[in-house]
């Protein structure tokens, strides 16, 4: 596993890599307080509560959300990021509906405990929204940038009849 990829989402670099800079002098990613410091001040500087993650996971998706309790104050289960990962359990499926191609993130597991952890991860870090959003944009860009006229020269050179 690339140690410079976010262990939460698996889609972003922790920090941008800089050429001709020693490993010890590379930029480091932000540290997330797994348990928000305003709700759990006793753990604010505890090393096990600090996890290097990407800027989007830390500042945009999670913010000060609580991993232990949801918005209804119900206890939830989550991955322990030092020995478990969610991104290896996330699948992205290509679906074709009529003439449209879409990508859909699948966060499903037959183990109920793992499924509950996936649900928590998605709720807190918004994995599905972020992955589906990136791939949807890619499909839109390709569909706008490419049209059938762009491929006429291929038909002519390969003698493919349309």
DSSP-assigned letters across all residues of 80-125:
-TTT--SGGG-EEEEEEETTEEEEEEE---SSHHHHHHHHHHHHHH
Q: Is residue 115 part of a domain?
A: yes
pTM for this predicted structure? 0.69
- On whether residue 106 sits in a domain, the answer given is yes
Judge contact between 81 and 9, C-beta under 8 A.
no
pLDDT at 93 (0 to 100)? 77
Q: Answer whether residue 10 is part of any domain.
A: no
152 pLDDT tier (thresholds 50, 70, 90): low
* 145 pLDDT higher than 60: yes
Q: Do the strands 31-33 and 100-106 form a parallel or antiparallel pair, or are they unpaired? A: unpaired
Strands 100-106, 91-97: parallel, antiparallel or unpaired by DSSP?
A: antiparallel
What pLDDT score does 148 carry? 55
Which of 137 and 21 is assigned the larger pLDDT? 21
Q: Which residues contact 124 (CB under 8 A, 6 or more apart)?
A: 61, 62, 65, 67, 78
Residue 160 lies in a domain: no
The number of domains in the chain is: 1
Band of pLDDT at residue 161, cut at 50, 70 and 90:
very low
Q: What is the pLDDT of residue 118?
A: 92
- Tens of pLDDT, residue by residue over 77-129, are 988 888 887 777 877 777 766 666 667 788 888 999 999 999 998 999 988 88
Note whether residue 13 is domain-resident.
Answer: no
Query: In the prediction, which pLDDT does 136 show?
Result: 61
Whether 125 is covered by a domain: the verdict is yes
| Structural domain boundaries enclosing 103 | 23-148
**So what's the pLDDT on residue 49?**
92
| Residue 66 included in any domain | yes
Say whether pLDDT at 74 is over 90. yes
The reported pLDDT for the residue numbered 2 is 47
43 — pLDDT class (breaks 50, 70, 90):
very high
Query: Which two tokens mark 65?
Result: 């959300």
């Amino acid at each position: 596993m690339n140690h410079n990829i976010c262990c939460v989402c698996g889609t972003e670099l922790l920090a941008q890599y800089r050429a001709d800079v020693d490993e010890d002098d590379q930029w480091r990613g932000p540290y997330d307080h797994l348990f928000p410091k305003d709700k759990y001040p006793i753990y604010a500087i505890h090393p096990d509560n600090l996890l290097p993650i990407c800027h989007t996971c830390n500042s945009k998706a999670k913010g000060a959300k609580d991993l232990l309790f949801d918005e209804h104050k119900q206890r939830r289960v989550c991955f322990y990021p030092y020995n478990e990962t969610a991104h290896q359990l996330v699948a992205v499926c290509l679906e074709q509906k009529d003439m449209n191609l879409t990508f859909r993130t699948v966060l499903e597991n037959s183990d109920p405990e793992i499924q509950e952890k996936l649900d928590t991860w998605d709720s807190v870090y918004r994995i599905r929204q972020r992955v589906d959003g990136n791939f949807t944009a890619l499909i839109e860009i390709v569909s706008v940038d490419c049209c059938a006229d762009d491929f006429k020269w291929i038909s002519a050179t390969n003698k493919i009849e349309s």
